[in-house]
Amino acid sequence: MTSRIEQLVARTRAFIDTQVIPAEDKSDGDIAVAGGSALRATLQSQARHLGLFAPHAPREYGGLALGMEERAPVFEAAGRSLFGPMALNINAPDEGNLHLLDHVASEWQRERYLAPLARGDQRSAFAMTEPPPGAGSDPQALNTLAEPDGDGWLINGRKKFITGADGAAFLIVMARTAGGATMFLVPAQRRGVTLVRHVSTVDRSMLGGHCELSLTDVRVDASDVLGEVDEGFRYAQVRLGPARLTHVMRWLGAAQRSHETAVAYVSSRHGSGRPLSSHGMVELMIADNEIDLAATRSLLLTACRTLDAGRPAREETSLAKVFGAEALHRVADRAVQMCGGAGVSADLPVARIAREIRPFRIYDGPSEVHRGSLARRAVRRYGRTDTGSAHPLTG
């Protein structure tokens, strides 16, 4: 890291430890209990005053314009608290939506949607997932339909697990069009947009919840098309690859905190006349956590560097996402085990971190879907040809 990034990480860590973690501890990581939007406004104001706000956003909108590799340690430092990403305005789905808008939005859309999102004046949601039989881990099953209507479009469909939808100012809606799929920018208060319910999930730290939405004859203009018509699946890759990595960054910080908490606990807690940390089975868990954390960082940085070099990095992001989601879950689970009864209580942060990390193996593509993609790439590289002869790379 450069000295500039090292200083930014140190200042972020200090802010998280002194200002954000106390709010998380007091509420056991439940954003609604902690104050919701009011807490968001308070913490973001403090982060802005300290020069920590929106490190990923373009400079023209007050951000620090960090690249993927530069932002990794900063996002990790923020992720030490479940509320840290919200405080720095780098939480999902806003962070991924900002990235997408920065790469695809027209000048008018940048001023109307990107600018207030980057400043923290508005929140957003990404509406792609649908209830069965619609799009879930298979986006090709998209059922929401957008049909031409004069000089605009009418959108009809249903969306589910839309993170942050309650209180969002606008949605990025993925809908099927005649030649594929298209993304539309839809103000959340637009007629026909209905918040049906909050879907109750195990995680409780996401402002705006995970919601089910109904879209009934939602009218949008041609200027609300994000990018080009029928190119929605291509634009989704612009968003999803980097967003998977920033998820890894944030959860890496949380898992690191759970590990540090557990090591401190077993170092001070005694069993059979000596610290728990000196028992072989506990040493094994500590060592395995160190390995999983280091390996996750390595895969993450490899993928970040590939993206920064301007390459798609689809394989690298899948590798980092699958390994990271599962390794960080293992870290959090071992931390709970090391802390015993305290580990399943609200006295320590490890239980809530384990609770919040578990869905990451499903969000942004289940591990199984990424494994299928990785396997198909391996077969193309090393598999046998249709004639039965060996691939030239394998002899």
- Residue 392's pLDDT is 44
What are the helix (H) ranges across the chain? 3-15, 21-27, 31-34, 37-49, 68-78, 84-88, 94-104, 107-109, 115-119, 232-268, 280-308, 314-343, 350-357, 367-382
- Residue 2's pLDDT is 81
Q: What is the pLDDT of residues 238-263, one digit of tens each?
A: 999 999 999 999 999 999 999 999 99
315-321-324-330 Cα dihedral, nearest 10 degrees: -120
C-alpha angle 105-317-254 in degrees, rounded to nearest 5:
95
**pLDDT band for position 391 (50/70/90)?**
very low
**Comparing 14-23, 278-287, 383-392, which segment has the lowest mean pLDDT?**
383-392
- Residue 387's pLDDT is 55
Q: What is the pLDDT of residues 94-133, one digit of tens each?
A: 999 999 999 999 999 999 999 999 999 999 999 999 999 9
Measured CA to CA, the distance from residue 358 to residue 352 in angstroms comes to 10
Measured CA to CA, the distance from residue 275 to residue 131 in angstroms comes to 50
C-alpha angle 332-274-339 in degrees, rounded to nearest 5:
20
Prior bond of 58 cis (ω within 30°): no
Q: What is the pLDDT of residues 135-150, one digit of tens each?
A: 998 989 999 999 999 9
- Residue 385's pLDDT is 65
Is the full-model pTM beyond 0.85?
yes
Residues 14-21: what's their mean pLDDT?
98
Going from the N-terminus, what domains does the chain have, and what CATH number goes with each?
3-91 (1.10.540.10), 124-230 (2.40.110.10), 233-382 (1.20.140.10)
Judge whether 147 and 153 are in contact, CB under 8 Å.
yes
Query: Which pair of structure tokens corresponds to residue 6?
Result: 């090292």
Please provide residue 384's backbone torsions phi and psi, each rounded to the nearest 5 degrees: -80, 155
Mean of the per-residue pLDDT values for the chain? 95
- Look at residues 155, 89, 75 and name the one whose alpha carbon lies nearest to residue 121: 89
Residue 29 has pLDDT above 50, yes or no: yes
- Residue 389's pLDDT is 53
Measured CA to CA, the distance from residue 279 to residue 273 in angstroms comes to 11
**pLDDT band for position 160 (50/70/90)?**
very high
